Amino acid sequence: MGRPDLGGRHVSLREKTIRAFAWAGSAKAVTQAVSWAISILLARLLVPSDFGLVAMAWTFVGLLEQINQLGIGAAIIQRADMEEEDLQTLFWIALTAGISFYAVAFLAAGPLAAFFGNDRLVEVIRLLALTMVLSALSTVPFNLLTKDLAFGKRSKAEVLSVLAGGTVSIALALQGYGVMSLIMGTLCQQVMLTATVWVMAGWRPRWCFGPDRVGSAFRFGLSVMATRMIWYLHSSADTVIVGKLLGDRLLGFYSMSGQLSTLPVQKISTIVNQVAFPVFSQLQHDLPKLRTYFLTITRFVALITFPLMIALVVIAEPLVRLILTEKWLPVVDIFQIMCVIGVIKSVDTIIPNMLMARGRADVLLKYNVAILLVLPAAFFLGASYGLLGVAYAWVVAYPMLLLYLYRIGLAELGLSVTDYLKNLTPAILAAGAMGAGMAAFRLLDSALWGSNLWVSVVGATLVGIMACAAALALFQREMTAEVKGLVGSLRSPRPLAESPR
């Protein structure tokens, strides 16, 4: 039994990729703005310990969520021969797993609360764990939209869900519900996302269970799940260590600095992950074209994220004072360090997507095991020096571990380190120009206007943007032509050149 092509079949892969980035990008721009506004308002209404409590709960619930997914979404996207009967089987497997892992979370809530020494965690974990059941219900339709690059539909669902969840969180926070405002907003967002992707995808479940039909897809999915689970363990290790050794208040500061520094990168990386994996999967057997798409995507992501993260480093102190108030000032130094790491993290997710598309989940598994062994030890040592020690542990350990991933990934594409760095040159130049321009303006502002917060943030940002644009125009004029070509393709789609399926 067939299914409709949710993204449209009579468009070239190039046009579908550009449109997918445009839709995903516009949606993430909206959700980014809304998420920042919500986070800022909630930070002003709530206390650091509320954010710390939720961060503690997510260390466990998030781990179960990685296991709960069973890599089913990645298998749906990666497998070109997925039939309707396979999708039905995967849906029932996902739902069964979601209910089962919720039961695990419910029972484990008490012991986890005892581990962190905070009885309030019991209720928080049991409520947040409901997201696993809700996400299981949306696994198949959500990933069908991704597989077909139907990001117009998916983007609408994401924007609506963020607006719904944010509205609930703010309303409850204004009524004095504290940490519950964060939890209920999260649940509301997941309910809305699940409902809307069902409507957008037009896919409906029916009883059909044939595990023998999905054996190879399930094996691939389990490999991806293992990789993601290990990734989650090492990426959450800092939260667990800070929460256990330094308490919920300091964890709240650490969590907020992480949210502010990684939110821009996460949103952009999410766009890239959503589009790059299905595109790379369609090109997995065409190495020259895969290499071209890989370099192009990396270059454009870096052009956005490198200058952005450097800008945040320069204006961190006045920005925190302006939007979060004085009570959050302890996050400034940590925020700046995490922004530096954010520069690296903004492009390091592209190689894993390429390797997964090539069926090299084994490489990612080994890489994540290595990180799991090294990073927690670094965080534990760093925690003895406080929050700054944990942040510096990222700076020292993480780039060293990335060398292995880059060596394998670039070799898979037949690229050298020189090729890769040359591809990033315009972004590095743009970031340097932006940082220098903003730093110079802040020095001038301090001398002439006494460091007015609004002048420091807005003025430095405008000067930085102009410096960044000048650097790009001076050093990389061909980039302008490439951008114009992409925009022109988006506005005036060319005739059918190839079908992705």
Q: What is the pLDDT of residue 215?
A: 60
312 touches 261 (CB < 8 A): yes
Q: Indicate the SS3 state at residue 53.
A: helix
Instruction: Name the pLDDT band for 14 (thresholds 50, 70, 90).
Output: low
Q: Which residue has the tokens 């800070």?
A: 242
- pLDDT (tens digit per residue) in 225-273: 776 777 778 778 899 999 889 888 899 899 888 888 877 777 677 677 7
- The count of C-alpha atoms lying within 13 angstroms of the C-alpha of 497, restricted to the half-sphere facing its C-beta, is 8
Mean pLDDT for the chain?
82
Percent of the chain with pLDDT over 70: 80
Q: How many CB atoms lie within 10 A of CB 289?
A: 13
277 touches 77 (CB < 8 A): yes
Q: Give backbone dihedrals phi and psi of 295, rounded to 5 degrees, phi first.
A: -65, -40
Tokens coding 85: 């009967």
**386: Cβ contacts below 8 Å, ≥ 6 apart:** 246, 250
∠ Cα 162 15 296 (to 5°) = 85
pTM: 0.70
Domain ranges, ordered by start, for the chain:
13-490
Tokens coding 485: 């070509």
CA nearest to 147, candidates 190, 86, 99, 92: 86
Q: Indicate the SS3 state at residue 110.
A: helix
140 touches 197 (CB < 8 A): no
User: Largest Cα–Cα distance in the chain?
Assistant: 73
How many H helices and E strands in the chain? Answer: 19, 0
∠ Cα 181 182 184 (to 5°) = 65
- pLDDT (tens digit per residue) in 390-412: 999 999 999 998 988 999 999 99
